[in-house]
Amino acid sequence: MQRFKNILVATDTRLGNQGIVGESAKLAKECQATLKIVDVVPLLPWNVRLFVSNHEHIHELMIREKQEQLEALAAPLRENGFDVETKVLVGKSSVEIIREVLRAKHDLVVRVAKGADSRRKGFFGTTATRLLRECPCAVHLVAPNSASPVRHVLACVDTSTDEVIDAELNEEIFNLAQAISKREDARFSIVQTWTISGEHLLKERITKQEYVQMKESRQEHSEQMFDKFLRGHGCGINDDFVHMLKGDAPQVIPEFASLNGVDLIVMGTVGRSGAAGLVIGNTAERILDSIECSVIAVKPSCFISPIKMGDYVEAN
């Protein structure tokens, strides 16, 4: 686990459970990485700024209070020899966290799955979802009751294409998931999904024999591509920890995770299809609303965040 060298913990100091701080410090020590803990104070709404005469003083007090809370989190770590930086960010949470990543060149963001004020339905909050989509570095979203140590790590890959970006993500996903499973002495599984495009339409318009032939051909091709990838890592498609699942990734992966006690999923955020492209558009919403475990999402080296340093985001 020497991959990460500059870790950013984006916490919510209002939450009672601050386990992500201690776990991140432990990881930083093992990786010999720098560690920074941040939280975000939002801008005051326009109506407050318009009608409250001392709104600037109120905002300064909010920032000062947040800084004190961060320092309280950092104090036990410093007593144990950790060199920890704290910082209060001001603005929209997801935007300011990403800006801090860009400023300080962080390579991992650790964030709770859902903040105290989140109004988004499902297991992951709006900030978490936007970080997965837009943050330029790896993002670790930690479930509220996540197991420590992790018991079962699931790597989700997509070997169905010859695209360089997919191959890069697959390598990153496999290596990181395997390293975490070894670090935590956890069970390791790897999954590839496959499906037939337009199957529900085709099935009604072709003969049963044609459908069976098409299905077998598609499955055989998917298995060959998956096995080729696995052979490059000293394993094969028949190994017990390898799973080839038929169906749409947003449906079958959450089902597999739930049935098999997965508490950490490692996946990519850019890909053409299948598991490596989970966090894209509607597919992202579907899977993130269906899982209840921690997630690590890795990014390809070519990923460019849509958030820029000079972007302006109005307070709600």
Task: Tokens 């947040």: give the residue.
Answer: 66
What beta strand segments (E) does the chain contain? Answer: 6-10, 34-41, 84-90, 108-112, 138-142, 152-156, 187-194, 242-246, 264-268, 294-298
Q: Is domain 1-144 annotated with CATH 3.40.50.620?
A: yes
Q: Is 128 exposed, middle or buried (0-12, 13-18, 19+ CB in 10 A)?
A: buried
CATH 3.40.50.620 domain position(s) in the chain = 1-144
- Whether the Cβ atoms of residue 267 and residue 156 lie closer than 8 Å to each other: yes
CATH 3.40.50.12370 occupies which residues in the chain?
147-292
**Residue 315, C-beta contacts closer than 8 angstroms, at least 6 positions apart:** 42, 43, 44, 45, 46, 91, 92
- CB neighbour class for 215 (10 Å; exposed up to 12, middle 13-18, buried from 19): middle
Q: Is the peptide bond before 254 cis (omega within 30 degrees of 0)?
A: no
Note the pLDDT of residue 43: 87
Rounded CA-CA distance 45/40 in Å is 15
Q: Which residues of the chain have pLDDT under 50?
A: 271-282, 284, 312-316
pLDDT recorded at residue 200: 65
Residue 106 CA to residue 220 CA, distance in Å, equals: 41
What confidence score (pLDDT) does residue 279 get?
A: 46
The confidence score (pLDDT) of residue 275 equals: 46
Each residue's pLDDT tens digit, 270-315: 644 444 444 444 454 567 778 889 999 898 888 888 888 765 444 4
pLDDT of 281 reads: 44
Check residue 310 and give its pLDDT. Answer: 67
Question: Considering the entire predicted model, what is its pTM?
Answer: 0.88
Top CATH class, 147-292: alpha beta
Q: Give the residue from 24, 23, 22, 19 showing the smallest Cα distance to 8.
A: 24
